[in-house]
Amino acid sequence: MAGPDAAGGDKPARILDEVARRLARRRDGATAAALLSLALAAGCGGKVESWSFSTRAAAEADPSAKASVPSWLPSGATKIRLAHDRGAGRTWVRFSLAGAERAALKAGLLPVPGDQAATLTIPEPSGADWWFASPASSGADFFDGNGKNLPVRVHLAFERGGDSVWGWEMKR
């Protein structure tokens, strides 16, 4: 996670300052853009924390995980796997949800067409063996939040022929 480094400063801020100094000396736009991208990537991520819970109520009862539980996670969700990167503002969750509550969560979401879903680049939670390898391998239908019952930064994948749902949210 970002924070003070051994020299007593904020490491991502120091990296960005150094990159800014180097960019000021460069006239090569491609090199400048590459350096800036590297600097931003270095300062945007943090330690990914992970948890497993049998229910949403159990997740909310855990003081270490409570702030990471997505507000949109249905109360009937079970078999919850949760990962959160506070530094990057990313949350990933996989859970089981069946019946009417599953249909209610899916209602009104914006479907991602299959040809687009197959090419999605989805960030993976570090060390999470419960996350799918790629959209094409997931056997799922993909949806985006509609801004009403689910924020637009939330993306869901509903397993075809099963009850698993994968969700990820990027707050930054």
Nearest partner of 51 among 82, 86, 20, judged by Cα: 82
pLDDT of amino acid 22:
52
CB atoms within 10 A of CB 85: 21
Nearest partner of 171 among 89, 104, 67, 99, judged by Cα: 89
pTM metric for this prediction: 0.72
Q: Where are the beta strands (DSSP E) in the chain?
A: 48-55, 78-85, 90-96, 110-111, 140-144, 154-159, 164-170
pLDDT of amino acid 171:
80
Domain boundaries, the chain: 11-44, 48-170
Assess contact for 116 and 144: CB atoms under 8 A.
no
- Given a cut of 70, the residues of the chain with pLDDT beneath it are 1-45, 172
pLDDT of amino acid 114:
84
